[in-house]
Amino acid sequence: MGEPKAKLLATRSRAPSLRRRPPPPLDLGVALFLDIDGTLIDLAASPELVRVDGAVAARLPELAAELGGAAALITGRAIVDADRLFPALNFPIAGQHGAERRAADGSIHRHRLPMPGFNQLRRELERFAARHDGVYLEDKGATLALHYRQAPRLASHVHRTLRAQLAIGTGGRAWRLQPGKGILEVQQDGRDKGTAIADFMKETPFRGRLPVFLGDDLTDEYGFTTVTRMGGWSVKVGPGTTCASYRLRDVAAVRNWLAGPLLARTADV
């Protein structure tokens, strides 16, 4: 296990399993970062089956305008996939856990390392998924994800298989396995939701604002760590151990919180 990941897990292990305090109301001085699945929209059996609430789709551009453009999506989905969910939004966005990023000025930044054996790994995982009902492979371009939410009994088998295949095909160099809710992904080491948020915070219109990040899954812990280090608000959606400072109960609570009026800049809480 690499040192950054070990530190992250150690931080999470020290955090209380339940924190019930909701975040303060949003104000005009924040930079808002939002995960998609499990945060803005409810999870579904597979990513293509999710449904976007019309009120959320309408509220996001309003929030962006109120914040002077300082709002971005931070997701494990590919950017092109997220754009299909929100076709009229054209938000700044980090996709594939920071492997690709569209800045506020529309420029695209890609962080794709060469991966020896990537094509072979994809073929092996395609064959594995074809042999097991309820398991399917998602090729996002810079990352690969095995979904097993519909076959939870296969969780340990999926993890063992992907670890073995990654070691055989690439030797594990510059890549890591990232677990999530019914999913296991092959991702680039050194890129995550935290590094994506840090990149945004160096740029206009995010620079100088208080970062606020909402997420629900293990991959979001990297973002929570980064935002907390910057003095911002990290908000865990749903149950589970977390290093986040605040918690919202579920997607419905997120929608209600985002629907509230933005206040004039207040002192840090």
User: Which amino acids are annotated catalytic?
Assistant: 35
For 80, the 3-state DSSP assignment is: helix
Residue 85: what residue type? L
Question: Could you give phi then psi for residue 255, rounded to 5 degrees?
Answer: -60, -45
Degrees (nearest 5) of the Cα angle 156, 160, 163? 140
For 99, the 3-state DSSP assignment is: coil
Report the alpha-carbon distance of residue 193 to residue 199 in Å, rounded: 10
Report the alpha-carbon distance of residue 146 to residue 26 in Å, rounded: 36
Helix or strand (DSSP H, E) at 63: helix 54-66
Among residues 204, 251, 243, which one has the least CA distance to residue 226? 243
Cis previous bond, 205, omega within 30: yes
Question: Could you give phi then psi for residue 125, rounded to 5 degrees?
Answer: -75, -30
Report the alpha-carbon distance of residue 187 to residue 204 in Å, rounded: 28
Measure CA 137 to chain center: 18
